[in-house]
Amino acid sequence: MKVAAIQMVSGTDVNANLAEARALLAQAAAAGAELCALPEYFCVLGRRDADKLALQEPFGAGPIQDWLAATAHELRIWLAGGTLPLACTPPDPARVRNAQLVFAPSGECVARYDKIHLFQFDDGERRYDEARSLTAGDQPATFDLPSRDGHRWRVGLSVCYDLRFPELYRHYANAGADVLLVPSAFTYGTGQAHWETLLRARAIENLCAVIAPAQGGRHENGRRTWGHSMVVGAWGEVLALQAEGAGVVLADLDAADLAKRRTQLPALSHRRL
């Protein structure tokens, strides 16, 4: 199965971001990608954290969700929609959910995952606290993707900071996942230090492929994200990568190779704790 990790440098204009995402997804679909994944905050990276509150949509209805459904249907792809702001239930005037939605080629929404782990960082110069504008999710989520070659792939969903919490990915491995999605907007400093190491570790320890679309560049709000969108094989090898700037990262996932790796090293069956 050919997959695509879409790298973006999203700005403050939603329509401009959606137009760029559509062009990149069309490029991926034309190259034969069946599963295409957008980065965290693909639809907007505002000037302030609270800017996303004005864009929140109720689950199941709204212009960004409609765009995702229509794009998946028009391009005939499985589309993992990075993240978008969904309204909390019950409503919270100060917070939203940072949600990843997945759409089938039919345009049907087949999975929802709300980011569980909320990023907090303070090095004396830069401060981030996602809990000021986000409400954390509490449920893992998977979906099954029947690819054109007849294999059924199980895909586990996560977002950015989740990457530092291996228990979530072990849950997915235990649930039979073959592929892990990690749409992200890693800061430049933490990404430079840890991004590739963490992605490869999650692949190796769970014998799963990892698709990691990211924000990568200097944004309108002054923030710089690390980028380095990549696809990692279940053996921990980087199959494809783009360091910075908008683009499409394509790679082929081989179900037979995945099965061989798990047979050669059946580490998942050797757990004792």
Please identify every residue annotated as catalytic: 40, 115, 160
Instruction: Show Cβ contacts of residue 213 under 8 Å, excluding neighbours closer than 6 positions.
Output: 5, 6, 7, 37, 38, 39, 82, 183, 184, 229, 249
Q: How many CB atoms lie within 10 A of CB 201?
A: 17
Query: Using alpha carbons only, what angle is made at residue 267 by residues 162 and 4, rounded to the nearest 5 degrees?
Result: 45
* DSSP-derived secondary structure for 220-251: TTS-BB---EEEE-TTS-EEEEE-SSSEEEEE
Decide: residue 122, CB within 10 A, 0-12 exposed, 13-18 middle, 19+ buried: exposed
Tell me which DSSP letter residue 53 carries: G
Query: Using alpha carbons only, what angle is made at residue 200 by residues 199 and 204, rounded to the nearest 5 degrees?
Result: 125
Question: Any idea which residue has 């709000």 for tokens?
Answer: 221
Tell me which DSSP letter residue 112 carries: E
- Beta pairing partners, 78: 35
- Beta pairing partners, 144: 154
* Secondary element (H or E) of residue 28: helix 14-30
* Spatial separation of the C-alpha atoms in residues 160 and 8, rounded to whole Å: 15
